[in-house]
Amino acid sequence: MNDTDKRITHWFGGAAWTGTAARAGDVFDPATGAVSGHVDLADAATVDAAVTAARTAFTTWRRTSLARRVAVLFEFRRLLAERAGELAAAITAEHGKVLDDAAGEVQRGLEVVEFACGIPHLLKGGHTMGAATRVDVHSLRQPVGVTAIVSPFNFPAMVPLWFAPVSIACGNTVVLKPSEKVPSAAILLAELWREAGLPDGVFNVVHGDREAVDALLTHADVAAVSFVGSTPVARYVYERATAHGKRVQALGGAKNHMVVLPDADLDLAADAAVNAGFGSAGERCMAISALVAVEPVADELIARITERIAGLKVGDGRRGCDMGPLVTAAHRDRVAGYVEAGLDAGAELVVDGRERPVDGDAAGFWLGPTLFDRVTPEMSVYTDEIFGPVLSVLRVGSYDAALDLVNSSPYGNGTALFTNDGGAARRFEEEVEVGMVGINVPIPVPVSYYSFGGWKASLFGDAHAYGPDGVHFFTRTKTVTSRWPDPHSRGIDLGFPRNH
Ligand code: NAD
């Protein structure tokens, strides 16, 4: 069997699916441009079979003691750490990001598993003795049922790990629908869960496209949906799934601004702009794509960034390069189209990524780091989420103008301020309308015991991912008021219960 014969299929009830799919999709190695395998695409009947496996497993998993659930999570954590290299290699082979970056996303996912290991503490309810005479009240958090996760191509392991460990720890079961562009990591995770002792049917994977997603969003036995992807799809998922009575958190796209004030450490800012603009070829929802230079820093900052870009090695992620290819040829062409659009709109092209030599196969999906100066807010390079290695510099005259720009964006995922002025930083923290804020930190992805999520068109729903919000999302609160038989509790009284 050669590589192109590799078949990636669904996983439910604790084993790989043995059926025959009516439809399949190509999976590529972005660094060579070659088809590396085929992924089965689920129809509604296959999704139903996966949800049924999850619903059946729920009846016993929800009653499994916290001690047993936590033992599985600890073992899963150990296996994930042990097999992180294998997982990172699978991510690089299908996504294209460099190996070190892929290992970084596994590590960030692992931190959520560690958070979920503390679930007994997180699920503790409240208790009040004697709320009224001989009446006690306590609250408990119970699982919601079968939870669906629909994940994007850019974090094949980390995004599923934002949700699955917390959902499972809370006593739910999971059906994951990973991006069809990067299907292998999800199957590796399923194998690790099984090896860790998770009962069959608690974690399931269905591969597919819109057909599979629609089947999950409308399935009567799916209680909650965690979606991550582009804003138009996030909005659709939120509206469709809530219309079907589900609890939904739908994380969308982004356009993240990095504001550099005149007093900032410009070397630190230039390093940060390059790391956050071009890491993972700009295919991160927390990537910096708009650099807002508060004058007079722009010329000096651009010079330092340009120097750093020249030193970046672009190529195959398995060869020790800094930046890999884009995920598909179509996506590369779309991003390259923005270079043309920027030029047409009158932006100044400082570094042209289309001309960048690469250490990789000529047929790979390449586009080097690209830097635009003198971008203005109406240009499409600024308004659109490009999701590629294109960094736009916007020059503004003051802190207030920078803040207005950030707050005028329809997105509100992440932002960063670079300054040495504590007062300015504090003001920004308070005034900026964005969910995740970095002060001299370019990619402020919260640690696992806080929660991840943006504002405005970057998130539909109330709950952010993981951390305390994750536990709330995956549980329902029940409040119990009890009075044990006692002579004082007898007697007829049709009035509304009063506490005394
Ligand atoms: P995408 O929206 O194309 O796909 C996301 C998921 O939805 C995939 O599983 C895909 O199969 C499915 N899907 C695609 N089109 C659909 C449709 N019409 N109906 C139903 N399901 C559909 O996103 P992508 O290209 O895989 O990922 C990149 C996007 O994800 C970017 O916009 C990025 O900002 C965003 N993202 C956001 C976050 C966040 O935390 N806010 C994190 C990572 C990625």
CATH assignment at residue 188: 3.40.605.10
Range of the domain at 140: 3-252+458-479
Active site residues: 285
The protein residue with its alpha carbon nearest to ligand 1, atom 32, reads 230
**Residue from 8, 101, 154, 155 whose mutation best tests the ligand 1 pocket (most atoms within 8 A of CB):** 154
Is residue 448 in a domain? no
Is residue 490 in a domain? no
Q: Are residues 232 and 193 in the same domain?
A: yes
The protein residue with its alpha carbon nearest to ligand 1, atom 35, reads 229
206 lines ligand 1 (CB under 6 A): no
Task: Compute mean pLDDT per 10 residues along the chain, 500 residues long, and list them.
Answer: 78 96 98 98 98 98 98 98 98 98 98 98 97 95 98 98 99 99 98 98 98 98 99 98 98 98 98 98 98 98 98 98 98 98 98 97 98 98 98 98 98 98 98 98 98 98 98 98 82 87
Distance 471 CA to ligand 1 centre (A): 23
The whole-number pLDDT of residue 498 equals 85
Distance 63 CA to ligand 1 centre (A): 34
Tokens of residue 5, six digits: 């014969």
Is residue 150 in a domain? yes
Is residue 484 in a domain? no
Separation of alpha carbons 20 and 318, rounded Å: 33
Distance 133 CA to ligand 1 centre (A): 54
Q: Are residues 136 and 124 in the same domain?
A: yes
387 lines ligand 1 (CB under 6 A): yes
- Number of domains within the chain: 2
Is residue 161 in a domain? yes
Q: Are residues 219 and 125 in the same domain?
A: yes
Q: Are residues 150 and 207 in the same domain?
A: yes
325 lines ligand 1 (CB under 6 A): no
Q: Are residues 114 and 138 in the same domain?
A: yes
46 lines ligand 1 (CB under 6 A): no
241 lines ligand 1 (CB under 6 A): no
Is residue 493 in a domain? no
Q: Are residues 191 and 231 in the same domain?
A: yes
Q: Are residues 243 and 312 in the same domain?
A: no
Q: Are residues 248 and 260 in the same domain?
A: no
